[in-house]
Each structure stands twice: as C-alpha cells, then as structure tokens.
Amino acid sequence: MLSKGLKRKREEEEEEEKKETLAVDAWWLDPSHSAVAQAPPAVASSSLFDLSVLKLHHSLRQSEPDLRHLVLVVNTLRRIQASMAPTAALPPVPTPPTAPNVADNLLASSDAALSASMASLLEDLSHIEGLSQAPQPLVDEGPLGRPAGGASPSLGALDLLGPATGCLLDDGLEGLFEDIDTSMYDSELWAPVSEGHKSSPEDGPGKEVGPDLDEAELDYLMDVLVGTQALERPPGPGR
Amino acid sequence: MGEDTDTRKINHSFLRDHSYVTEEALSKPTKENRLSPSLRAAVSSQISTSDIISTVEFNHTGELLATGDKGGRVVIFQREPEVRRGLSKNAPHSQGEYDVYSTFQSHEPEFDYLKSLEIEEKINKIKWLPQQNAAHSLLSTNGFQRSEASGELSSCMDKTIKLWKITERDKRPEGYNLKDEEGKLKDLSTVTSLQVPVLKPMDLMVEVSPRRVFANGHTYHINSISVNSDCETYMSADDLRINLWHLAITDRSFNIVDIKPANMEDLTEVITASEFHPHHCNLFVYSSSKGSLRLCDMRAAALCDKHSKLFEEPEDPSNRSFFSEIISSVSDVKFSHSGRYMLTRDYLTVKVWDLNMEARPIETYQVHDYLRSKLCSLYENDCIFDKFECAWNGSDRNAFSLGEVGEKSVIMTGAYNNFFRMFDRNTKRDVTLEASRESSKPRAVLKPRRVCVGGKRRRDDISVDSLDFTKKILHTAWHPAENIIAIAATNNLYIFQDKVNSDMH
C-alpha cells in the first residue's frame, strides 16, 4: 500500500519531531489562533511561514494587488525562512523572488500570465511544503495543495530530496495524466519500490552515507517516493 | 500670551461640537447643491462600505473641510461665520459650526465586466489648492479608474487625479431679451423694446466642476499628492514612482523619483507617502515601507533617485522580531508648519525628526505599545498593515513668528477602538480620547480614556483584549490655525473644538 511505505519513511526520519508536528497539526485544526503565540518558537516559525504563504497567495489573487502589502509579506517570509534555514543547507528558496515577478505579471493584467505564474509559484511552494509534509493529505487542501506541515522539522529531508525536485514536475505531470489506480498495479514500478520502501526507512540515514547503495539507485528510489507523494495529492495547478 | 498658555491644556478640554453622519441620503451624486441646513441626521443603521470616510482635509484657512469616501464622493463642510462675540457661553451656534457646503461625485464607481468585480473608487487623497480668487480648488485622487475608452472593456489601471473648482453663485441675471424666464426662446414678434438684464440675488448655489483630469500618470496605487509652495506644481506618488505635474497641464508629467528595479524580483521596498516642503519649493520628502525617509532636492537632478538626506533609525535589537519591518513601515509623513521638522507615523509610534539630523528622530512617542506583544495576531488579521495618519496642531501665528517656540506643539494620531491620541511636545503629556456617539454628548468635555494591560484596572479602563480592531481612526485633520480637529471614524465624521479656545471668543 502506498500509505504504508510513506508511514514508515515518516516514522524513521521524523520520530524526534513527532511532538512538534503534532502540535502544528493541532494548531491547524484548532480554530482559536491563540495557540500560535503559545507554540514553541520553532513551530511558531513554521505556522508563521504557512500564514505568510497564505497571505501571499491571497494578495496575489487580488485583481489589483497591493504592492506594499505584497512586498512586506514577502520580506517577512524571507525573514522566517532565514530563521528556519540554519537547520539545513538549503539554497535560497526561489519562492520569494518569484512573487514580485508574479506581481509584475499581474500588473500586466493578463489572466493567462496570472494562472501560469500562480501555477509555477504554487509548484515551487508545494515542492518545499510537499517534500516535508506529513504523509496524510488534508481533506480540504483546496487549490493550495498545501498541508499543515512542519517545514522546519523536515528540512533535513529536503536536503536529501533536493535533486529530485526537478524531477517532481515531470513525475507530477505524469501523475496528472495517469490513473492512480493503474499505477498501483504497475508491477514494474512497484517491484523495486516495495523493496526500497521496506529497506530504506530503516536504513535510511544509514543508506545515505553507506557505500553499499550507489547514487543512481538512491536517486531512483527518491524519484519514486516523491512521485508517489505527488500522485496522492490532487493535481493543484491543473484547473 | 495667556491664550496660548491656556490652549496648551487642550488635552483635557476638547469638547464635542457635532458629529456628522454620511448616510444613504447623501449618496446621490449632484453637480449643484443648494446650501443645505446643517445635517444632524439620525444614524442610519446600515453602514454601507461606500460611506466609509477615506480622507479628511482642511483648506488653508480652515473655513472648509473636505472628506472623501470609498464611494468616490466628496463632501465639503463650511464653517459658519461666528455670531457676535461676547455672547454667553450657552448661546447655541455661536462657535462657528461646520455645515455641509457641497457634495459631489469625484470618481465614478465602475463595474469591471471582464472580471465581474466592482472597481473601488475610494478617494485616496484630497488636497486643497491655496485660494487665489473667489473660487476654491481641490485635487482629489482615487484608487482605481478604468480608462474611459468608449466601447472597449479593457481594464487598464489608470489612476487619475482631478482638479475641481468650487464656486458660489448668489446672483443670477434676469430680463433677457431673447429668452423668457424659463429659458425658452421668445417669439421675436413679441419683443418690442430692449432691456438690459439685471443681476438679482438668488439663493446661494455651490457649483463644483471638474477643471482638469490628470490621467495616465500612474500604474500603481497613488498613495499621496502634495501641492508645491509655488502654487503651480504638485506631485503625486504611487508605490514606485513620483511624478511632478503642472496644475495647468494634464497631458504631461515629469517623473522625479523611480524606485522600480530593473527586475521586479529584486523589489523589496515601496514608497508609502510623500510631501513637498512647505516653504522650499525644491525640496520634498518621501517615506518607504522600510521606515526610511528621503529628502530630495529637485535642483540637484531631474531624476531625484539619489536623495539629499536619508533619515533612518537603526533597528532596536531588543525589539527585533519577524514583524520589525512591517511595523517600521511609515504610513504618513508631514512637515511641520515651519518646515524645520517632520512627523512620521509607523504602526506603533509617531516620531518627530529634525531636518538637520538624519541619524535618528528627536522624539518618539508610543501610540499603543501594548500591541507589541500581539503583533502575531495583528499580522494574522491584517491589522498590522493599517495605515494611520498623523497631524501637527495648527500653527499659532503669534508663536510661529517667534520661530522655535511655535514648534513646541501638539501632535495627533489615531488608533483602534475609535481612540485617538494627542502628544504635547512641550509638557511631554499625552492623552487618549474617544470618538464615539455613546461616550460623549454634545458640548460635553471629552473624557480621557485609558487602556490597561493587566494588573491594576481602574473603573473606566479598557483592557487590551476588548479593544475593537474594526473601529480604527486612520484619518485625522487639524485646523490650520485653531484648535479644531476633524476625526473620521469609519463612516462618521467628528469635529471637536477646544473648549478653552471657544471660551476665548
């Protein structure tokens, strides 16, 4: 089963951060927002991050975006990311710079440009969020396709899956057009994965540094893992 | 200067003069208005968004007060001439009240058929021109205006500035030879003799007509307009550019500041407000979303991208948070009457800057510091992006001539819960007052309010958690000479007069 493998992966890599992740989940479900202030700083950052991303999207969706609001939110997002970054050696995320670019596109008043830019922005964001997400996709994800994920606990995972982000889009596109059901029965796809799923979670950290697994196989495994994640999530930009 | 000493006690003796409510009855746009009796209309229970006041401005003498609202309508109030002085204090209407003078639709509300959206016609700013003849003139600018290309539904984002001329007519000619009283042409055979038309008095009629439309100057939201002291030019600023216009020329403007980066991805700062120096026609200042002020000299270059002075306060490391930049964003900048100082408003403070010192403000006043611990929630509900204005008190002419003495003045700004704050720079005392119908009866002295943060709570204190953040006083104005203030609280306009001041008359 898909979820089975993913669960194992999560257990192995995010055991320490379980508490924090749960706290974040609780905040997401809890309508009262006072929890934000009470949460520990690391979690507050990720909640703030999510909030800022939400604001950014909302701002961009306006027919005539308020540039001041946009710039301030983007700069705040940068600050939050900068505070989260030390946990992983991440190259600066392309999201904030694309936002004003999107704004500029918007200002050209082109609906086509808007949806394309929005799509790319959403893709970028979903890369970061999706790669670090909890495996259970939310029921009401909506167009964002973004779960309440602790981005900070899983930045280590981001590092690992970094090279695969480029492939995600390809896999995602494939996933868009593939029927999820049939892919499950695709024996070719599944045979190596089932082995990989069983073996990699337990030896995950070990495998990263172990000389036994060569890079190509690791990349392949990661591609599949990320690809299955994409399949689980509803196609965001395809509207 | 006994009068001056007494007026320094304005903090505690502001009394409520009248409150005017803009309601549905005023929503019909009219080009001509008869001078209507003062409106003490009952409060309409429905507050429509289009009635929310978005700007308040006294003219240079203080005789007229203009307000703009989100429906694109401008309402002008006129101060009635004061009745004979020396009457008893209890005599009504002896203080010179403000009554509605004229109402007109400045910018038309539009409907974008392509996007099925209403385009907001909010009047962003109104600035009066110095009066040069019997007529009054003002500039008004809006948020959005669709280009009026006939037949085309292109939603181009033209922002326009309009120049309006307000004239009075109290006479009309009678006795035309060719027209009869109704204006119909006479049958020439009935005309047997010639007469000279005579001007006869009529009921005062206020006519407002658009004289100029300055269009196609801006791509982004216009946040401020400022008339130059030369009375010939004015500037308009949007998020990224500032343009200089000549009042008589509408098809051309000069770009004097452009901070748009070559690559929009590099955009990190926008212009938030700007103003011309009150006396030096070559100097102007503009503020940014990062909390800096730039003083520019138009003599230095055609494009004033390089500032002459940069006013910036270094960030306080102890107060650093994710929201430091947002709360440092300057929402309003105002030169003092002498031009020596600048007043700026950011989210939590008002600051007084000396033009001769760029390193830091000379004074900082906390408007509502109790919100510092609530920034996260305020970020969430977007209140942290609210743009409050600030104002200097009117220049007391006697004191002004003495130079610096006149600058030890009072500054005012709005806050939440319909509170507004005044800071006396002389005594360093401050007061919080409330603009609401419930808490003040006509002619009663306003009671100072207090927000308690916890701990000891006095009887009438409001706790921080029970503040109403939907009741924000963003727009305030101070009469240029007297202690009369106009406060816009959502769709209500309050005008307060200094009791001491009025007693002096």
**CA distances to A100, B35, B216, B266, B298 from B305, in Å:** 21, 47, 21, 17, 10
CA-CA-CA-CA dihedral for A122, B119, A68, B128, to nearest 10: 180
Judge whether residue B142 has pLDDT over 90. Answer: no
Judge whether residue B385 has pLDDT over 60. Answer: yes
> For B270, which of A37, A48, A71 is closest by C-beta distance?
A71
Judge whether residue B209 has pLDDT over 60. Answer: yes
User: Mean pLDDT across the stretch B34-51?
Assistant: 41
Judge whether residue B171 has pLDDT over 50. Answer: yes
Which of B207, B64, B52 is closest to B143 using CA atoms? Answer: B52
Searching chain A, which residue's CA lies closest to the CA of residue B145?
A64
Residue A122 confidence (pLDDT) = 45
CB contact under 8 A, A67 and B239: yes
pLDDT greater at residue A23 or residue A167: A167
Per DSSP, which regions of B289-330 are E strands?
293-297, 309-311
Residue from A48, A60, A67 whose CB has the most chain B CBs within 10 Å, to mutate: A67
Q: In this predicted model, what pLDDT tens digit does every residue of B257-296 receive, in sequence order?
A: 999 999 988 999 999 999 999 999 999 999 999 999 999 9
Judge whether residue A154 has pLDDT over 50. Answer: no
User: Mean pLDDT across the stretch A87-96?
Assistant: 44
Confidence band, pLDDT 50/70/90 cuts, at residue A44: low
**Mean per-residue pLDDT of chain A:** 54
CB contact under 8 A, B322 and A107: no
pLDDT greater at residue B220 or residue B83: B220
Residue B423 confidence (pLDDT) = 95
CA atoms lying within 13 Å on the CB side of residue B9: 10
Residue B6 confidence (pLDDT) = 34
Residue B47 confidence (pLDDT) = 57
Chain B contact for A106 (CB, 8 A cutoff): no
> For B326, which of A36, A64, A72 is closest by C-beta distance?
A72
The complex's ipTM?
0.82
User: Mean pLDDT across the stretch B11-32?
Assistant: 38
Judge whether residue B77 has pLDDT over 80. Answer: yes
The enclosing H or E element of B325 equals helix B324-328
CA distance B254 to B276: 15
User: Mean pLDDT across the stretch B226-236?
Assistant: 96
Written as one letter, the residue type at B82 is E
> For A75, which of B155, B219, B325 is closest by C-beta distance?
B325
Judge whether residue B381 has pLDDT over 90. Answer: yes
Residue B301 confidence (pLDDT) = 87
The answer to whether the pTM exceeds 0.80 is no
Structure tokens that stand for B8 in this block:
């320094």
User: Mean pLDDT across the stretch B467-481?
Assistant: 95
* Residues in A touching B329 (Cβ below 8 Å): 68, 72
CB contact under 8 A, A66 and B221: yes
Searching chain A, which residue's CA lies closest to the CA of residue B330?
A68
Q: In this predicted model, what pLDDT tens digit does every residue of B93-125 receive, in sequence order?
A: 446 789 999 999 988 766 555 555 555 667 879
Q: Which residues pair with B478 in a beta bridge?
A: B485
CA distance B419 to B440: 13
Quote the DSSP letter at residue A171.
H
Strand, helix or coil for residue B24: helix
Residue B132 confidence (pLDDT) = 87
Residues 6+ apart with CB under 8 A from B123: B54, B55, B68, B69, B70, B72, B73, B74, B106, B107, B140, B141, B142
Structure tokens that stand for A30 in this block:
């809890």
Chain B contact for A66 (CB, 8 A cutoff): yes
Q: In this predicted model, what pLDDT tens digit does every residue of B412-455 receive, in sequence order?
A: 999 999 999 999 998 999 999 999 887 556 677 788 899 988 77
Residue A151 confidence (pLDDT) = 37
Q: Min CA distance, A68 vs chain B (Å)?
A: 6
Chain B contact for A109 (CB, 8 A cutoff): yes
Residue B119 confidence (pLDDT) = 54
Structure tokens that stand for B252 in this block:
């051309």
The percent of residues above 90 in pLDDT, for chain B, comes to 56
* Residues in B touching A79 (Cβ below 8 Å): 322, 325
Residue A10 confidence (pLDDT) = 46
Judge whether residue B33 has pLDDT over 50. Answer: no
* Residues in A touching B219 (Cβ below 8 Å): 107
CA distance A182 to A124: 27
The enclosing H or E element of B494 equals strand B492-498
Edge to edge, the sheet with strand B309-311 lists B271-276, B283-288, B293-297, B309-311
